[in-house]
Amino acid sequence: MQKIDYALLLLRLAFALSLTYHGYNKLSAGIAGTAGWFSSIGMKWPKTQAWTAALTEVFAGLAFGAGFFTSVCAMAVIALMVVAIITVHWKVGYFIFLPNGGWEYCASIGAVAGAIAITGPGRISVDHVIGLPCSSAMFLIPVGVLLALCHLAISYRPVRTS
């Protein structure tokens, strides 16, 4: 193993654990609460959105950490973060320490997912062990952004405050 393989593992695990826990929190706190919050920010079909967000965070997070279907997971994480930034965090500002949290942390998660999509998961990954392609899937970065924008166009109607 090379140092880069350990570095990629560390990045995948650190961000995957956080992402997975966010999804677990949505599930354990109750989907109804998450759905209510999604409704309050203007998401159509809030219960479906809550389930989709929670399950994507849990399963993409776990698989990303393990390095399993890493490129697809990176694309899903990028899409999640773009949606989170646009719907919640952008209007707050950049820094996470601002009231209601800025978009800094979501951008960091998306950047790590993008970097892993570019480099591949490394040799300490399920993808490598079972022989899945571990090379660059750089094209999935714009695909993740495009999927997020399509999702928002279909299901997001921001609540207008006067």
Instruction: Return per-residue pLDDT of the chain as tens, 162 residues.
Output: 899 999 999 999 999 999 999 999 999 989 999 999 999 999 999 999 999 999 999 999 999 999 999 999 999 999 999 999 999 999 999 998 888 899 999 999 999 999 999 999 999 999 999 998 777 778 889 999 999 999 999 999 987 766
Residues in the chain: 162
Q: Where do the structural domains in the chain lie, given as residue ranges?
A: 3-155
Q: Which of 162, 148, 2, 38 is nearest to 86 (CA)?
A: 148
Residues 6+ apart with CB under 8 A from 92: 98, 99, 100, 101, 102, 103
Return the number of other C-beta atoms located less than 10 Å from residue 3's C-beta.
Answer: 7
In this predicted structure, what is the pLDDT of residue 162? Answer: 61
Q: 57 and 26 in contact (C-beta within 8 Å)?
A: yes
What pTM was computed for the model?
0.92
| Secondary element (H or E) of residue 57 | helix 46-66
Q: 17 and 24 in contact (C-beta within 8 Å)?
A: no
Report long-range pairs for 104-107 (Cβ below 8 Å, ≥24 apart): 106/81, 107/81
In this predicted structure, what is the pLDDT of residue 12? Answer: 96
Tell how many helices (H) and how many strands (E) occur in the chain. 7, 0
Q: How far, in Å, CA of 117 to CA of 134, rounded?
A: 9
Tell me 158's DSSP state.
P
In this predicted structure, what is the pLDDT of residue 100? Answer: 84
